[in-house]
Chains A and B, each alone.
Chain A
């Protein structure tokens, strides 16, 4: 099968890869780039564990063909912290126990990140809608919602830095 060439930015670094055209963005991130933060929980877009941010929007990486990411900017959970310092969003999840087993956490963080990009002070209802595609079996969601609300407050205090 002829391969396709993809050039994209992942966590701020320009990458060029060749891959079979049927492979998904999730497979390329995990298997080719070693970015195993995004998880495969169902392979069909039901669970949201694979969510990454593509051109500032949250997408299920298992449903996006890698070729579709050509020319795009991708942000994964590995790109949230900078210089070893957790972002406000990550800090908020830590403080508010917005995670338990942590398997849904990368997707939950990225859906929340995309929400806060477009809506820096979301209501609880808006937070619930933004993470409605991210299943979590541990937390019951309210600690996650608390975390996102807290992240918005931390970022506001810091002048809207995520």
Chain B
């Protein structure tokens, strides 16, 4: 369903810079007199710092500054939900990614020499490395002053006892997932300098520039208006750049030296320090009648969150919000915990707790189908959420028709109902299987947080500047916003230039996270566009003497009830400007939550829903345990396709990332030490590992979405791993409960079944 610009195939708006090498990422920005910034990271996952001596390092040639916790003018904290993570550790370190000192030097070699000259004496302490052990009362306290266990959410609905009493079958299983490294191609980096008027400027590869400004200003103890944060091109983020990484340290070093400083993490530093997707344990107890209808679910989610809270409470909370999946569950108890350990910090990564619980509920649906001898598709259809039903969290789901629609669309296009005809054993050592998984994701961050502003300006020639605080990190938000602006102002897409986040020029759009920007910034763009469109139409009405209601704009021209008039948008824009009508407009939008949408949660899991279904076909080598994903049929309701190439890219990228999650990606951590600290030990899919993906997008409009659109970035990934897991189970005839499905695990499962 395309408009004049919406849905019409077009390249990404920033394609030219990206394809010619002109695009400047943080590490590409030219700067005179630049110092190299580096951080000294902890040598131990859990230790007391007995002494810290930086005097020798400070005296080395070429060293401009060495900062410790004592040199931070403001708050020594990243300032998450609670200020529990220091920027520079003072008396103890709690994981290998803790920074202890920040160095700025004339060149790389001098900076390295300074790091080596810093003397730290540690007293190693017993750490907590297993979340279940860390939950015990006698476990070592990971962070003095804070409990190891962070209760994140508890949702209850109906009557659990009655629900399980009504059940004719009960399935009690536990599922496990691993830490996942984001592995964006651009490691974290920031460049900071001091303007002549004292303003501190930071360019950073980030997801939340306006929040960065607040955090940096507090550490530097300067007012926010003396602080400017700019986001240049960002080489992928997937959640890990949502929180500050090195931008505060770079700003501290620039403030201390008065000179420009750039910190760019090496790949190894990046993997060791930034947040990972939570490894979780999901205990899932499900009760159902013989006809497959669910009577009760009891779910407990435990996530290893590392030493600091970061977003752990919210991620485990969101996991609980969507843990029952796109199914009606009248009686439920869902509880989640983030548990502190001395392992890597866990935080936001594409899906925000959703992929972990999706694995559990979709494996359970297959287990239920198997137990009852029913078709897995039929079990899902019998339980599919319907519009108006209340979820365990207390929300009322809108447009749940997409659950059934995506299930049917996937089944019809993957040959699901004819799956008994596929060649199950194409060779003696090979087994083929098909697996299905649906998903439910909630767009946005919840009540009181989902605001966005956008600025539009039309010049006298009808061309448009769009200023957005939303970060383009490859998800296509610039293109989506420019497309909506063009559609609503009646100009071609090429007439819109996007200026990205710069706190001196753009409005706060909140973070580019939670698959929210198309929705919230899109709505903000619509509101700004409405003001300028009105200026144009009022001008046109005055010029033509026609009533404003009959006039419309498209393709750069004026129409009256579909009839082309002899006015162009540039003519109208010039006349409107000289008539002093507003041609520059701010649009503000905050996600609206009807009261009934949520009764129990203020901050997680309230917002528009996205639904999808994927079916994977796999081939398993039962001699080696290797799994080959032959094909994925991925169906997602996107409400409205804004740009078809961008939407498909999100799906194919999500499915491929999900394939890595299912089969190969696993951060190996032993006693708090990350052993897979490079891209040769933490493996992500290459072009040879990526499956064939058939993408089918549905356009069932979301009533509050801009032009009906709803987010796609995170939903794209959700179903892939459970679909593959269910397919492998189907192929080898053994239920599985842990990802990644490495060859060893697959062979173990096959061997275990023989015993």
Contacts and interface: CB of A to CB of B under 8 A. Distances in A.
B27 interface: yes
Interface in A65-104: 76-78, 80-81, 86, 90, 93-97, 99-104
B30 A39 contact: no
A132 B688 contact: yes
Contact of B185 (A37, A104, A140): A104
A138 B21 CA distance: 18
B652 interface: yes
Interface residues of B, number: 57
A43 B234 CA distance: 18
B648 A138 contact: no
Sorting the interface of chain A by its residue count into under 10, 10 to 19, 20 to 34 or 35 or more gives 35 or more
Contacts of A44: 267, 678, 680
A110 to B, nearest CB: 10
A134 interface: yes
A137 B652 contact: no
Interface stretch (B11-19, B51-59, B279-287, B557-565): B11-19
B524 to A, nearest CB: 23
A144 interface: yes
Given A78-B20, A96-B645, A103-B25, A39 B186 contact: yes
A86 B693 CA distance: 29
Interface in B654-674: 654-657
A97 B11 CA distance: 6
A123 interface: no
Interface in B22-52: 22-25, 27-28, 30
A53 interface: no
Nearest to B25: A103
Contact of A78 (B21, B233, B236, B266): B21
B684 interface: yes
Interface string B673-692: 00000111000111110101
Contacts of B476: 100
Contacts of B653: 100, 137-140
B47 to A, nearest CB: 29
A132 B267 contact: no
B645 to A, nearest CB: 3
Contact of A36 (B11, B21, B649, B679): B21
B25 A43 contact: no
A64 interface: no
A101 B187 CA distance: 13
A49 B649 CA distance: 19
Contacts of B236: 100-101, 103, 137-138
A58 interface: no
A150 B526 CA distance: 35
Contact of B475 (A47, A81, A100, A109): A100
B12 A97 contact: yes
Contacts of A78: 20-22
Contacts of B723: none
A57 to B, nearest CB: 18
A47 B686 CA distance: 10
Contacts of B651: 140
Contact of B652 (A30, A36, A132, A139): A139
A105 B646 CA distance: 16
Interface in A135-154: 135-145
Q: In the complex, which of the residues B21, B652, B686, B693 has the most CB atoms of chain A within 10 Å of its own CB atom?
A: B21
Contact of A142 (B11, B267, B693): B693
B185 A86 contact: no
A103 B21 contact: no
Contact of B186 (A46, A103, A131): A103
Contact of B648 (A97, A131, A137): A97
Nearest to A133: B686
Interface in A9-51: 30, 34-44, 46-47, 49
Contacts of B684: 135, 137
A137 B187 CA distance: 12
A127 B655 CA distance: 20
A93 B316 CA distance: 39
B652 A99 contact: no
Given A36-B24, A101-B236, A143-B649, A109 B473 contact: no
A156 interface: no
Given A131-B687, A142-B690, A42 B678 contact: yes
Given A128-B688, A132-B687, A142-B693, A102 B18 contact: yes
Nearest to B266: A43
A99 B19 contact: yes
Interface string B509-530: 0000000000000000000000
Interface centre among A44, A95, A135, A137 (most CB of B within 10 A): A137
Nearest to B19: A90
B657 A137 contact: yes
B667 to A, nearest CB: 15
Contacts of A128: 687-688
B21 A95 contact: no
A4 B654 CA distance: 46
Contact of B235 (A35, A36, A81, A102): A102
Nearest to B30: A34
Contacts of B185: 39, 41, 47, 49, 101, 103-104, 135-137
B679 A86 contact: no
A143 B656 CA distance: 12
A22 B747 CA distance: 46
Nearest to B350: A137
Nearest to B656: A140
Contacts of A30: 28
A94 B11 contact: yes
A40 B28 CA distance: 10
Nearest to B682: A46
A101 B184 contact: yes
Contacts of A86: 16, 19-20
A96 B9 CA distance: 9
A23 B651 CA distance: 40
Contacts of A46: 267, 678-680
Nearest to B233: A102
A75 B489 CA distance: 42
Nearest to A105: B18
Nearest to A44: B678
Interface in B227-268: 233-236, 238, 266-267
B656 A141 contact: yes
B474 interface: yes
Contacts of B687: 127-129, 131-132, 134, 136, 141, 144-145
Interface string B155-185: 0000000000000000000000000001111
B498 to A, nearest CB: 14
Contacts of A41: 185-187, 235, 267, 679
B520 to A, nearest CB: 21
A111 to B, nearest CB: 10
B659 to A, nearest CB: 9
Interface string A107-127: 001000000000000000001
Contacts of A37: 20-22
A43 B649 CA distance: 27
B186 to A, nearest CB: 4
Instruction: For the complex of A and B, list the 3 residue pairs with the smallest distance between their C-beta atoms, beginning with the closest.
Output: A37-B21, A101-B474, A103-B235
Interface of A: 30, 34-44, 46-47, 49, 76-78, 80-81, 86, 90, 93-97, 99-106, 109, 127-129, 131-145
19 contacts: A30-B28, A40-B27, A44-B678, A77-B20, A78-B22, A90-B19, A93-B15, A95-B9, A97-B646, A99-B18, A101-B233, A101-B234, A101-B236, A135-B679, A137-B684, A140-B690, A143-B645, A143-B648, A143-B652
Given A39-B235, A140-B656, 4 more contacts: A94-B12, A97-B11, A102-B233, A131-B687
Interface of B: 9, 11-12, 14-25, 27-28, 30, 182-187, 233-236, 238, 266-267, 473-476, 645-646, 648-649, 651-657, 678-680, 684-688, 690, 692-693
